[in-house]
């Protein structure tokens, strides 16, 4: 059956992280977690409190803090080796998308063996991988609910995707206090990543009426609450709603996917070291504009969510142009995303990526044909 919606992660929204972790560990009878975490988070009060509570309950932990942005395959493979050497029985992934993706990759390799690159190249994940508790500290990637994890081949600078409904987290804990201190620039970039997940999932070939409704709500939440979170990081209501939007965005990745916007972000972001959320935000205006040629009604709806109005006689492409400009206004003026020009990448250099863009795996979800001409146009509009 071609099911249109599936969600296998048990989600908790909690303001008591330590209590929620202990309850899950007790329920599952876990004995020795590996904690996969961004190193700097070990110095934060909430994580220190959680580690202290685990210790007080005689739960030994193994800390794996070798995660880096755009994690290379070696980080995952090495983590799986340590997991086995230390006889761990579950994984707690804490951090942004890089940490949670690394944790999910480790969970796959420790369960089925091999190397994570093999699973990116088609090796089967035959059964549900259990034992991962995902705790996001950003509101963007949605890795806590997503079935897609991204690692990097250091030699080729390519981002590799592992896609499997069997590789999702078993549990996800959303604690708004963990994102209250997220810097403004990261709040903006990760929040725009969430919007991109919803906008691309909404217009993907994999979309369906039930995923469309979720995408519309995600975009609404981002437009309403992201500016509030940027203005005041301590606004826990805004932080909570953005965490919910991000998690739902990850769910949408599993059910509707993304398309050429994320393909551009993966190719350009990996090659030029542009943070993923920023790359998605730079790619989205062109994606919206040219998707409108084949999905005009949906692009117009995105425009309405952004506060756009349209001339009665507007063509499909003009509707895309208006929506793209309204998104840029939201991105640049309301939120303050840094201009793409700060990366000093000229147009000629960008156009060297046409072939890689056309071959990127998510291009196949695009509702329009991504040929050489359109690839050139989109790369010229990137920014």
H or E, element range at 185 = helix 184-203
User: What is the per-residue pLDDT across 154-181, written as a single tens digit (0 to 9) for each?
Assistant: 888 788 889 899 999 999 999 999 999 9
Global pTM reads 0.93
User: What is the per-residue pLDDT across 312-325, written as a single tens digit (0 to 9) for each?
Assistant: 999 999 999 999 99
Structural domains present in the chain: 10-179 (3.40.50.1970), 184-381 (1.20.1090.10)
3-class secondary structure, 265 = helix
Residue 142 region by backbone torsions, left for phi larger than 0, else alpha for psi between -120 and 50, else beta: left
**pLDDT tier at 252 (50, 70, 90 boundaries)?**
very high
Burial of 362 (C-beta count, 10 Å sphere; 0-12/13-18/19+): buried
User: What is the per-residue pLDDT across 337-367, written as a single tens digit (0 to 9) for each?
Assistant: 999 999 999 999 999 999 999 999 899 999 9
User: What is the per-residue pLDDT across 270-295, written as a single tens digit (0 to 9) for each?
Assistant: 899 999 999 999 999 999 999 999 99
**pLDDT tier at 1 (50, 70, 90 boundaries)?**
confident
- 81: nearest Cα among 110, 111, 107, 123: 110
What per-residue confidence (pLDDT) applies to 148?
Answer: 87
């Amino acid at each position: 059956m071609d099911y249109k919606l599936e969600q296998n992660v048990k989600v908790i929204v909690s303001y008591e992280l330590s209590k929620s972790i202990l309850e899950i560990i007790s329920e599952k009878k876990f004995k020795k977690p590996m904690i996969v975490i961004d190193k700097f988070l070990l110095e934060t009060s909430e994580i220190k409190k959680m580690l202290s509570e685990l210790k007080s309950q005689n739960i030994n932990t193994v800390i794996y803090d070798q995660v880096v942005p755009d994690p290379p395959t070696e980080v995952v493979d090495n983590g799986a080796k340590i997991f086995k050497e230390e006889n761990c029985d579950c994984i707690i992934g804490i951090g942004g998308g890089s940490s949670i993706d690394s944790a999910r990759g480790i969970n796959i390799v420790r369960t089925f063996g091999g190397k994570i690159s093999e699973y990116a190249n088609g090796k089967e994940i035959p059964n549900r991988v259990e034992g991962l508790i995902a705790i996001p500290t950003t509101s963007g990637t949605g890795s806590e609910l997503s079935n897609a994890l991204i690692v990097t081949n250091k030699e080729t600078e390519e981002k590799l995707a592992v896609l499997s409904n069997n590789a999702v987290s078993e549990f996800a804990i959303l604690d708004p206090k963990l994102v209250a201190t997220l810097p403004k620039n990261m709040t903006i970039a990760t929040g725009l990543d969430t919007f991109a997940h919803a906008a691309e999932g909404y217009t993907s070939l994999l979309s369906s009426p039930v995923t469309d409704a979720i995408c519309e709500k995600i975009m609404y939440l981002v437009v309403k609450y992201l500016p509030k979170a940027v203005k005041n990081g301590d606004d826990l209501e805004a932080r909570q709603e953005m965490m919910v939007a991000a998690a739902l965005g990850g769910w949408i990745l599993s059910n509707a996917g993304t398309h050429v916007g994320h393909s551009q972000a993966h190719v350009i972001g990996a090659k030029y070291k542009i943070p993923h959320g920023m790359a998605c935000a730079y790619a989205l205006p062109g994606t919206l504009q040219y998707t409108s040629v084949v999905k005009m009604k949906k692009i117009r709806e995105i425009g309405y969510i952004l506060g756009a109005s349209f001339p009665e006689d507007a063509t499909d492409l003009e509707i895309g142009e208006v929506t793209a400009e309204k998104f840029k206004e939201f991105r640049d003026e309301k939120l303050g995303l840094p201009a793409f020009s700060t990366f000093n990448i000229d147009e000629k250099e960008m156009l060297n990526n046409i072939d890689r863009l056309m071959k990127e795996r998510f291009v196949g979800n695009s509702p329009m044909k991504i040929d050489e001409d359109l690839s050139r146009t989109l790369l010229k509009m990137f920014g």
